[in-house]
Amino acid sequence: MQQSHWFQREIQLKQKGRGCHLITDEIKNQIKEIQNFKIGNATLFLKHTSASISLNENFDPDVRLDMEDTLNRIVPEGNKLYRHSSEGKDDMPAHVKSQLIGVSLTIPITDGDFNLGTWQGIYLNEHRDGKHSRTLVVTINGQPK
């Protein structure tokens, strides 16, 4: 039986403005080591409280626009019930959206690549107005090729 191997790297994602952004290729371009794994799991952990990551439609960009619109209807800005407001009107809603969607994913690896569905892609959901630098920790555990 072959021994399990581990790999971990923090990567910087390109700065993006508010919205739902497809980042699958951006991640794979920064972790070429994924190609060394026959099978395994990749854990993606976003080190932020006002953004989130998720899996969703990777083909039609309208889905990303509709997701952003829907999130803004579910968690609107300017709610006078928010206590936390010291970082701007977009900050507390960003924390709520991050809490609802989450900051981590576990994705299976098969033959050196993410084993995603045909129409699935990894999203960075940026919930703040300005462009922010986001850090993602990628941890892979699995059987090498």
Domains of the chain by start residue, with CATH: 5-144 (2.60.120.460)
The C-alpha angle with vertex 116 and arms to 58 and 50, in degrees rounded to 5, equals: 60
Coil/strand/helix, residue 40? strand
CA distance 67 to 86: 27
Residue position matching structure tokens 């993006």: 16
Nearest to 71 by CA among 132, 17, 18, 134: 18
C-beta of residue 142 within 8 angstroms of C-beta of residue 38? yes
pLDDT, average across residues 108-125: 98
The helix (H) or strand (E) run that includes residue 140 is strand 132-144
Per-residue model confidence (pLDDT) at position 1: 63
Q: Please give the order of strands across the beta sheet that includes 51-57.
A: 19-22, 120-126, 51-57
Mean pLDDT throughout 111-134?
A: 97
Residue 131, pLDDT score: 94
Residue 117: pLDDT above 70?
Answer: yes
CA atoms of 25 and 41, how far apart (whole Å): 17
27-73 pLDDT tens trace: 999 999 999 999 999 999 999 999 999 999 999 999 999 999 999 99
DSSP for residue 80: T
pLDDT at 24 over 70: yes
Per-residue pLDDT, 118: 96
Output the pTM of the full model: 0.95
